[in-house]
Amino acid sequence: MKSFIAAVRFITILPLGRPGTYDPRGMIPHFPLVGLMLGGIVAVFDGLISGLWSPPVVSLLDVILLVYLTGGLHLDGLGDTADGLYGNRPRDRALEIMKDSRIGAMALLAVICALAVKWAGIMELGAHRHLLLLIVPGYARGGMVVAIRFLEYVRPRDGLGKDLFEKPLGLADFAGFILPVGLSFFMGWSALILNAAFVLVIFALIGFYKKRIGGITGDMLGAATEILEAVLFLAVSAGGVL
């Protein structure tokens, strides 16, 4: 439970456990489960308000709730990553820009686009709406586990995510995927779309990160989470499949 609580406190604002609980290596396997918890809150919230407003309004409130529950942590990483990696800047300059707390034009555009795509995807969810609201945040946070496994941390001395990379991950560290992947198969063939989209997006991001700066930072982990969440919601709502 200590490791799970550490994961909750690390990537959400939920006041679970005591302040100061921190277990960088132990909390990694719990990231998908924390995502499921966030998704569960959003799914319940969606069900409670769906009779009060139209689907576009409800979906917008779902997106806002996700932002609130995470304290904007991943969105901040997405913005910093967009500012740093846009263009052909040298690696060291890109890392320097990502560390700057000021927001640039690319950061603003990336955040707006990610939120818009997420809203559009959630609005078009069909029969499995609440199940997808539950599990997609789990997949998105699970993407951090995959990125930690396949990429090196590129900041030599500091950074929010440095402690997560001190020891290599093993097969047991992916156990948190069992529940979201298992739940996905209650959607039948639509599970293939979700899982295929997850694999394609996370490994495309890993390839891009590795080619661009040879590894990853904490900001880029957050960016991967936001990109995955937006694209997965959009993918599973495409063409009325669900």
Q: 55, exposed or middle or buried, with CB in 10 Å at 0-12, 13-18, 19+?
A: middle
Identify the domain containing residue 69 by its residue range.
Answer: 28-240
Contacting residues for 222 by C-beta, under 8 A, at least 6 apart = 73, 74, 75, 76, 77, 78, 81
What kind and span of H or E run contains 83?
helix 73-85
Q: Tens digit of pLDDT for each residue in 143-197? A: 999 999 999 998 866 666 678 888 889 999 999 999 999 999 998 888 999 999 9
Return the pLDDT at 68: 97
Structure tokens at 199: 């694999």
First to last CA, the chain: 35
Q: Tell me, yes or no, whether 22 lies in a domain.
A: no
Angstrom distance (rounded) from CA 73 to CA 177: 22
Q: Tell me, yes or no, whether 80 lies in a domain.
A: yes
Return the pLDDT at 86: 86
Structure tokens at 69: 């529950």
Q: Tens digit of pLDDT for each residue in 211-228? A: 999 999 999 999 999 999
Q: Tell me, yes or no, whether 233 lies in a domain.
A: yes
Q: Tell me, yes or no, whether 154 lies in a domain.
A: yes
Domain count, the chain: 1
Return the pLDDT at 241: 47
